[in-house]
Amino acid sequence: MNAIIIDDEEMARTILEQLVSQNPDVTLIADFSNAIEAIKYLNQNPIDLIFLDIHMPGFTGFDLIQTIKNPPKVIFTTSDKNFAIEAFEYDCIVDYLLKPLSEERFNKAVKKALLFAQPSKNSLPEEKPKETVQDLYVNIDRRLIKIAMDSIRIIEAKGDYILIKTDSKNYTVHSTLKKIEDKLPNDIFLKVHRSFIINTQKIVDIEDNSVLIDKDVIPVSRSNRAELMNRLNLLK
């Protein structure tokens, strides 16, 4: 298996490198002290396994997993035992190793990763992607108004109504954010806050926990930030 190490502590990376070098089933491809750099690498290179620390400056191991669209198998390597239950809620997590690492426990985790990597005989065929819908029809004053999907910039919840902002006009519709979210193509639109859905192709700028679309500054919640970062075509 091809593997990478992501850990901000140099000593931890050195120990993992030694353990990997002694295991014939794993080949170390790269190691990273910075999670953002690791994400850029993972978006461009196929990897079978990640040895991942949880606590890193500015970006946790959980943030990283949520950011990667199709994460490879992950073995957490951490000194914090408090997240073990939460970790196994993710399908990609195969083991949870506590520091200091022992060779015996490390090799056992690698064997588990090998077993998880084997395709299941009972696995179901992948679903075909849905066709992208080009237009949205909204009911305004008993009239059905056609709105081109690619013209929509922002959708904002306002009580029992939603405000749809497009390139040319704004529409106020009696509906909920949840109902319209189900109608939108999820490869273009993303709910970034409990009150906002944005067209990711209309983003002008991103700063801290907000995005700029035209002249509107839209807040981005922490729980949705990882998915937003995954949608971006980051320059490596």
Q: What is the pLDDT of residues 112-144, one digit of tens each?
A: 999 887 654 444 455 544 455 578 888 888 788
Q: Which CATH number is associated with domain 135-231? A: 2.40.50.1020
Please tell me the distance from the alpha carbon of residue 3 to that of residue 10, in angstroms, as a whole number: 17
Residues in the chain, pLDDT under 50: 120-124, 128-130, 236
Question: What is the dihedral sign for C-alpha 51, 62, 81, 11?
Answer: positive
Q: What is the pLDDT of residue 121?
A: 43
Q: What is the pLDDT of residue 234?
A: 59
Please tell me the distance from the alpha carbon of residue 78 to that of residue 120, in angstroms, as a whole number: 29
Q: What is the pLDDT of residue 124?
A: 47
DSSP label at 45?
S
Cβ contacts of residue 44 below 8 Å, gap of 6+? Answer: 236
- Ranges for all domains in the chain classified under CATH 3.40.50.2300: 2-117
- Ranges for all domains in the chain classified under CATH 2.40.50.1020: 135-231
Query: Which residue, 43, 45, 61, 48, is CA-closest to 6?
Result: 61
DSSP label at 62?
H
Six-digit token string for 185: 């193509």
Q: What is the pLDDT of residue 122?
A: 43
Six-digit token string for 77: 């390597």
Residues 51 and 57 sit within 8 Å (Cβ to Cβ):
no
What is the amino acid identity at position 10?
E
What is the amino acid identity at position 40?
K
Q: Which CATH number is associated with domain 2-117? A: 3.40.50.2300
Six-digit token string for 116: 């998880």
Q: What is the pLDDT of residue 118?
A: 61
Q: What is the pLDDT of residue 22?
A: 95
Q: What is the pLDDT of residue 19?
A: 96
Rounded to the nearest 5 percent, the helix, strand and coil shares of the chain are 30, 35, 35
Q: What is the pLDDT of residue 32?
A: 95
